[in-house]
Amino acid sequence: MPSYSDLVFLSAAAQAKLVRQRAISPVDLVQACLARIERYDPVLRAYITVCAEQALAEARQAEGEIAAGTYRGPLHGIPFGVKDQLCTRGIRTTVGSRIKADYVPDFDATVIARLKAAGAILIGKENLHEFGKGGTHVFPYGQPRNPWDPDRNPGSSSSGSGIAPAAGFCSSSLGEDTGGSVRGPAAACSVVGLRPTFGRVSRHGGVMYGWTADTIGPLTRTVEDNALFLQAVAGYDAGDPLTSKRPVPDYAAALRLDLQGLRLAVVREMSWPDGVHPEVRRAFEQALAVLKELGAELTEVSLPWAKHAIPLNMMTSDADVASMYVPLLRTRWNDFDIGTRTRMATAALVPASIYSRAMRARAVVRGQILAALRSHDALLSPTNLKPPALIEDAREKVESQADVAQRLILRRISTHPFGTANTPTLALPMGFTQDGLPLSLQIAGRPFAEETVFRIGHAYERATPWHARHPDLERTLHAYLRHDETARV
């Protein structure tokens, strides 16, 4: 059997192969993950709740089923984590807030139920900032840290869901993305994150923020793993009337295709704006060269309204949140973080006429993106235009237009437009800076064409080494850990 340190960094697909062959057991996998969590999560804070006893019990059950010849498929016995805004039967769901500290649902969100039916094992509930709408420094259950550099931001709001697969706490997580909350942590932690098409995955049982844009998507170590998890959770659900009845394709089949004949376009405004970090630019140019060598045809397009997606998406999603939380604001005002309650209360004052105009403007952004996709198979940009920022920088006040440009526009210009357009968008590792900080490539496709973004991402991944690199937590967390050989995992 591989060592625990090797086992936890295998892809879910590789783990599944060993489980099916009975070379390792689900109990081995869960114990390996729990050992990593015990050692490193007091620093990284990926989890709000760890389900150790339940996970071990489910692992023993999976082990018995597989030994008896009942194999449910490639997720049987594979540990996963979920952002703590998805309801889990018998396990508290805090939504990152002390207000919900004692909320224990009596049902599973649809995506959780589907993963459990596939045999996957829930190992824990992952950290996020308060209600997903607090500032990037508002974490009532502990400040999450980037496994590549603990002084750096791990991305938000699905922070723990990005940290966990990167740190070897589980092979895969589920997060939620409104304007970049899956793709941002994926980029910062050097994993693969998908924002599926709006309506591809049920949101029933999720404590959602922006009903007009929210999606639930997987964060994984490889594109293949991402396809496996999407396959398990995608499809119509009567519990969420906004899910689509379109058939779910075989995503794994797309991974066998090359890039010959595909037309890809670089989005000018999202790739080359003033302020893009030189190492991001260099890595992106190298990624484009790889895609061209793989047979794709590359062009460039302009989306003039892309920059407007940031305020439009933020305002409408904040207003969606406020519509749900106004009663709670009235009764628990002092229990909210000041930043969270200010943001929600301000959004609650947005007139319906302004909200309606913003939704019409969002349609313009979507129209420009869909027009570009009519003549191209996918659109490309860096996921983030700068490497992960220092955590302390996120705590500085925004006091000028220059601050807004640095702290807001450059951080969100690449992710918010596709969130506004509700198109499938994949973030995957694109390299590292000279200081070892992750960089990420973003691929956006036509609505319900997840198989195309998987096809492109998988081909790029196979041609590059980035997905195979993992953080050495003993080194990166050295200043934070107790140092004795028996603690190492």
Answer whether the bond into residue 356 is a cis peptide, omega within 30°.
no
Distance CA 70, CA 217 (A): 28
Residue 331 burial class via C-beta count within 10 angstroms: exposed 0-12, middle 13-18, buried 19 and up? exposed
Distance CA 130, CA 139 (A): 6
47-50: strand order across its sheet: 47-50, 121-126, 79-83, 172-177, 215-220, 192-195, 425-432, 438-445, 378-382, 263-267, 297-301
CA geometry: angle 93, 136, 305, nearest 5 deg: 110
Read off the amino acid at residue 19.
Answer: V
Which pair of structure tokens corresponds to residue 379?
């659109």
Name the residues annotated as catalytic: 83, 157, 181
Look up residue 486 and give its DSSP letter: G
Q: Which of 455, 447, 449 is nearest to 422 (CA)?
A: 447
Dist CA 159 CA 191 (whole Å): 12
Cα separation of 124 and 263, whole Å?
40
Task: Give the helix ranges, DSSP H, for 258-384.
Answer: 268-271, 278-293, 309-332, 338-348, 352-374
Q: Can you give the length of the chain in residues? A: 489
d(CA 257, CA 458): 9
Cα atoms in the Cβ-side hemisphere of radius 13 Å centred on 164 = 37
The answer to whether the Cα torsion of 180, 185, 189, 192 is positive or negative is negative
Residue 59, helix vs strand vs coil = helix
Its sign, for the CA torsion 270, 275, 279, 281, is positive
Q: Are 469 and 9 spatial neighbours (Cβ–Cβ below 8 Å)?
A: no
Amino acid in position 257? L
- In DSSP terms, 263 is beta-bridged to 297
Cα–Cα dist 389/154, whole Å: 9
CB atoms within 10 A of CB 382: 26
The phi-psi region of residue 180 (left if phi > 0; otherwise alpha if psi is between -120 and 50; otherwise beta) is: left
